[in-house]
Amino acid sequence: MERKKIAEAKRIVVKVGTSTITYPNGKINYEKIEKMARILTDFQNQGKEMLLVSSGAGAAGVGRMGLEAKPGTIPGKQACAAVGQGILMHIYERIFGEYGQVVAQVLLTKNDMANQHSYANARNALQEMISWGVIPIINENDVVAIDEFKIGDNDNLSALVASLADADLDILLSDIDGLYTANPKTHPDARLVSVVEEVTPEIEATAGGAGSRNATGGMLTKLQAAKNAMSAGIALIIANGEHLEILRDILRGEPVGTLFVPKESHLRFRNQWVAFGSKINGRLIVDAGLSKALRQKGSCSILPVGIVSVEGEFDSGDTVSVVDQEGHELARGMTNYGSEDVALIKGCKTSQIEDRIGYKHYDEVIHRDNLVIL
């Protein structure tokens, strides 16, 4: 994808990190929020369709309550999010309203996405808001989310939202300029990577931990989000949100930040849900041959012979992750066999399945039509 094509993007998700809209002490940076509201409304007035994924609720709660840092307990974090979410949405509503732009609050959890019906409801609601000219402001519902059903970070939430909304572009604004060849804080000679066509294990190895103390996401979560967006046919850019005019630079097609090039076609609705919405119930660890085939062919069925081991407990029809022997996620898909049966047939030929477990409904553990390559 050429940068100039970015200028043609119509439906755009912008994710702002905590460090972009708050000061280091957790207090709200009103100047940045005002500027962002003005820029997003200006894009909306040009005919683009904007969605905002906003971090900062927890930090806003910390600031309002006069705490030095986020509480360490789950109830404490949830209470901070409850206080901060109201503050943040009130500010967005007031400032966007000054420019005549209507906004809407959307709070999601992984549990909301866990079945196709609720996933479709969320998708339809977003599509309707967009058709009304509303800018949805989206965050994870940290007040009720528990670890088992947390999306976990707003980088991956933005990729989920981009898929739900059929967006053309997902922009992650953070406190870093983009992806570097190494950690620039420890390697002064690290170079900014302008374009990434595939997130390889070597690229993932460069990812570090979370940056500022109020933030939850680091480069690793951004790379995960990039893989998900690319798989869904959505371009993703990581850029520095220190100066919000960078949004105009991006949408003029200027070479700022790191562009992750999307795969050619959008996922079908069911595969969107498999990749982004459904709960991951276990993992299939596959051998080098199958790993290579998945990376090179773009899609192939998962046969028992290529499976090395099984992790977790799952039933037929559940969604599982497919990883290589180094733990790099390659794909997600709906399995035809439960974990107990897969443990018995792993490594065997399809002709041996019935001998191992007493029946054979499918040759494939995951058929290629139910598999999403990441």
Which CATH number, 3.30.70.3270, 3.40.1160.10, 3.40.50.300, 3.40.50.2300, labels domain 3-270?
3.40.1160.10
Q: Contact at 8 Å (CB) between 151 and 216? A: no
**Torsional sign, CA 77, 122, 15, 238:** positive
Cα–Cα distances in Å, from 361 out to 17, 189, 232, 316? 47, 56, 30, 11
Q: What is the model's pLDDT at position 247?
A: 97
> What is the rounded CA–CA span in Å between residue 293 and residue 275?
19
Measured distance CA(309)–CA(291) in Å, rounded:
14
**Residue extents of the structural domains in the chain:** 3-270, 279-373
The topology (CATH level 3) of 279-373 is 2.30.130
* 239-293 per-position pLDDT tens digit: 999 899 999 999 999 999 999 998 766 566 567 667 676 778 899 999 999 998 8
The reply to whether 3-270 and 279-373 are identical in fold is no
For tokens 């893989």, the residue is 227
Query: Given a cut of 70, is residue 152 above it in pLDDT?
Result: no
Give Cβ neighbours of residue 272 (< 8 Å, ≥ 6 apart). 119, 163, 164, 232
Tell me the per-residue pLDDT of 218-247, one tens digit each, with 9 for 90 and over: 788 899 889 888 888 899 999 999 899 999
In this prediction, residue 211 carries a pLDDT of 43
> Which of 54-63, 238-247, 307-316, 337-346 is least confident?
54-63
